Structure formats: C-alpha cells, structure tokens
C-alpha cells in the first residue's frame, strides 16, 4: 500500500492526461460548430444577431388569427368547426344524390325511400307480437311435495313513477 495518497497536482501523468482530455473535448466542440447544420437544406437561417426585447408598460395587442380564449373554449370551437365540416359534407352528398334522382318517377322514389322504414316497422311489430304471445302462454306449473302444513303467498308489486318531480307509487296485488 502507498502511504501517501496521490493528488493530481502531485502526479505529473494525471495532469497531462487531464490536459489531453480537455484538449480533446475542445477539439470535438470546435469540429461540431464548424460542421454543417443538421437541418434540411431549404431552411433559412437569419445571420443577424438577436435583438434584446424591450419591456414596457404598453397594453398587449391582439394578434391576427383566433381570438385569445381559454383552452376549453378553443377545444369547443374546434369541435364545432369539425361538426360543421361534417354536416357540410353530408348535406353536399344528399344534394348530389337528390340532383341525380331528379329524373326518377316520384312514386318510385317514394316507394324506394319508404321500403326500409316499412321493413323496420314490420320487424318491430313481429317482435312485439312474439313477446305478447310468450307472455300469454300458459304459466309454468310447479309441483311441490311438502310433509307438513304449508302456506304459500304470491305477491306481485307494480311501481310507476310519473310527473316532473317523480312520485313512486306501489300497488300490491295478491
């Protein structure tokens, strides 16, 4: 073991290696500054020095473009603009379709437009009738065997809520 610790000032080899490292870093920085910029060629770089910005007591001036507003208002306006563009496209499509159908017989056009509505209405009625038939079907009969006195109570509760301020009423049927 070395009785004395070596310090950079006392060790000439450490001082020379630190000087070599500093010189290498400075050479690398100089080479990086002299190299061409990494930006694409058409980028314009103004060689004029940047001026210091003056700070005063003048009121801010509204810049051209969108008016200053909160982030929430900006987001809402973007949504409104997008919805407006969407309705514009849908309206234009409907207008083109109607212009293309201008030569069609009105009765034929009414039948073609009403057919999908009639099919949906017929299917809805079919489903409703099937539900009513299932509800009117004979109830399922349950057979129970007991070995003692038994009391059975069947209760049906019907509730309805009506009005602006809803009041729930319950009717019990036995």
- Amino acid 161: pLDDT: 75
- Amino acid 74: pLDDT: 87
Angle at the Cα of 92 (from 97 to 103), degrees rounded to 5? 25
* Of 107 and 11, the one with more pLDDT: 107
Confidence label for 37 from pLDDT (cuts 50, 70 and 90): low
* Of 45 and 24, the one with more pLDDT: 24
Average pLDDT in the 12-29 region?
A: 87
Mean of per-residue pLDDT scores for the chain? 80
* Of 18 and 11, the one with more pLDDT: 18
- Amino acid 83: pLDDT: 93
State residue 167 phi and psi, 5-degree precision.
-120, 120
C-alpha span between 50 and 81 (Å, rounded): 38
- Amino acid 125: pLDDT: 95
- Amino acid 24: pLDDT: 93
* Of 3 and 28, the one with more pLDDT: 28
Q: Both ends of the chain: CA-CA distance in Å?
A: 103
**Most confident stretch, 114-118, 134-138, 156-160:** 114-118
In this structure, of 68-82, 121-135, 152-166, the range with the lowest mean pLDDT score is: 152-166
Reference 153, options 171, 137, 173; nearest CA is: 173
- Amino acid 123: pLDDT: 95
Locate tokens 């319950």: which residue?
170
Tens digits of per-residue pLDDT, 38-84? Answer: 665 666 777 777 776 666 777 877 778 777 788 899 899 999 999 99
- Amino acid 54: pLDDT: 63
């Amino acid at each position: 073991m070395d009785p004395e610790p070596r310090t950079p000032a006392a060790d000439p080899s450490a001082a020379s290696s630190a000087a070599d490292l500093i010189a290498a870093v400075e050479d690398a920085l100089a080479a990086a500054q002299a190299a061409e910029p990494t930006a694409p060629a058409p980028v314009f770089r103004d060689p004029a020095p940047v001026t210091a910005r003056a700070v005063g007591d003048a009121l801010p001036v509204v810049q051209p473009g969108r008016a200053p507003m909160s982030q929430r208002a900006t987001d809402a306006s973007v949504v409104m603009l997008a919805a407006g563009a969407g309705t514009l496209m849908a309206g234009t499509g409907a207008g083109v379709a109607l212009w293309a159908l201008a030569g069609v017989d009105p009765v034929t056009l009414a039948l073609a437009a009403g057919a999908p509505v009639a099919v949906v209405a017929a299917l809805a009625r079919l489903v409703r009738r099937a539900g009513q038939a299932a509800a009117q079907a004979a109830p399922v009969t349950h057979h129970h065997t007991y070995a003692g006195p038994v009391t059975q109570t069947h209760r049906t509760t019907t509730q309805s809520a009506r009005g602006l301020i809803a009041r729930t009423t319950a009717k019990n049927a036995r």
